[in-house]
Amino acid sequence: MTMIEFVSDRLGQIAIRTVFMAAAAVFLRMTGTQTGIIVLLGSVWILVFLCAQIVDFIRCRSRLQELQSIMDGLDKKYLFAECVSKGGNAYERSLLDLSRRAGKAMIAAVSDAEAAQRAYREYVESWVHEMKTPITAAGLICRNMDSENRRKLSRELAQIEAHVERALFYARAESPEKDFMVCKVNLGEIAAQVIGQHRALLIQSGIRVETCDLEQTIYTDSKWTVFILGQLLQNAARYKGNNPVVILSARKLGTQVQLVVQDNGIGIPEHELPRVFERGYTGSNGRIRGGSTGMGLYLCRKLTESLGMDLRIASEPGCGTTVTLTFPAKGNLTKS
């Protein structure tokens, strides 16, 4: 609080007291009081009033600084009203009491919302696990069909399974610390697992996958990393060009490992690159090709942030897209 703010809050009081002082001076003059005495009384009154206001300003500013220090020292700011001492005048105590009641209502509302969100997330996870059974059963049934129908149905089932898996990771992305476990893994083994899971999609899309220097040791959650790389392969298949190729290559960067996923697809317009990680953003390619949900790269960004990984994307229309994943060093691993 500045002196100007303090005075502006008390302009009404100052005006009323000025009018009262003028009226008192007129009354004293009409009763025959000498002008010098009236001026002396007025000067004393003004001096006392100014001293009282200065003392009040210092008291208010000190109290605000005390409250500010309490607020700055709290990790959970919404508990501010509960941590403030019950000092001050009756007006301040009433305000703090109202703040406490409002804070309790807010905490209750947030707790209810978190409980509802948690229940919904648990339902989604349960639904995903239940859906995997009929998907697997349908995959077994289609093996008895003729090759053309089996190929078409297998591709559609793979798409369904990909969407179901994406829903599961979306639900878990809101509380990642409860699901992931960082450990030492081999990047080549993870890449082989991803390629194996998406083999049917890659074959049907006519995509050739090349690998280079993937025998690197990284520290990550293998399940989450498999999902991230799977999303990148699905994007490469969806937005493929002529003679599609995906190259997976890795290199050491000091104590870190950098994985580059490069394709020769249709690419992404330059003006859309800053938005590709936004939730639900499909871009012009997604609208043209169809089937895009705008959730794949969004989830990749969320999961890489939780794993302490760096995710960057570069693209040129007609030439392809390059996604770079940098895995953290062991000493830098944190759960976020």
- 3-class secondary structure per residue, the chain: CCHHHHHHHCHHHHHHHHHHHHHHHHHHHHCCCCHHHHHHHHHHHHHHHHHHHHHHHHHHHHHHHHHHHHHHCCCCHHHHHHHCCCCCCHHHHHHHHHHHHHHHHHHHHHHHHHHHHHHHHHHHHHHHHHHHHHHHHHHHHHHHCCHHHHHHHHHHHHHHHHHHHHHHHHHHCCCHHHCCCCEEEEHHHHHHHHHHHCHHHHHHCCCEEEEECCCCEEEECHHHHHHHHHHHHHHHHHCCCCCCEEEEEEEEECCEEEEEEEECCCCCCHHHHHHCCCCCCCHHHHHHHCCCCCCHHHHHHHHHHHCCCEEEEEEECCCEEEEEEEECCHHHCCCC
User: Residue 171's CB: how many other CB atoms inside 10 A?
Assistant: 19
Highest mean pLDDT among 32-41, 56-65, 153-162, 317-326: 317-326
- The per-residue b/e assignment along 4-40, b for 16 or more CB within 10 angstroms, e otherwise, is eebeeeeeeeeeeeeeeeeeebeebeeeeeeeeebee
Residue-wise pLDDT for 289-325, tens only, equals 666 777 888 888 988 888 889 999 999 888 899 999 9
Instruction: Give residue 336's pLDDT band: very low, low, confident or very high (50, 70, 90).
Output: very low
Q: Which residue has the tokens 């992305």?
A: 173
Range 55-80 average pLDDT: 80
Question: What are the extents of the domains in the chain?
Answer: 3-105, 175-332
Segment 276-282 long-range contacts (CB within 8 Å, at least 24 positions apart): 276/313, 277/301, 277/311, 277/313
Q: What does the block give as tokens for 220?
A: 């990550």
Pairwise pLDDT comparison (329 vs 300), residue with the higher score: 300
Pairwise pLDDT comparison (326 vs 77), residue with the higher score: 326
- In this predicted structure, the answer to whether residue 70 has a pLDDT above a threshold of 90 is no
Range 6-35 average pLDDT: 84
Which strands make up the sheet holding 310-316, listed edge to edge? 208-212, 245-253, 256-263, 320-327, 310-316
Residue 313: per-residue pLDDT: 93
pTM of this prediction exceeds 0.75: no
Residue 136: per-residue pLDDT: 76
Mean predicted lDDT score pLDDT of the chain: 83
Cα–Cα distances in angstroms (integers) from residue 128 to residues 110, 164, 238, in the given order = 27, 6, 23
Pairwise pLDDT comparison (333 vs 111), residue with the higher score: 111
User: In the CATH scheme, what is the code of domain 175-332?
Assistant: 3.30.565.10
Least confident of 41-45, 144-148, 218-222: 144-148
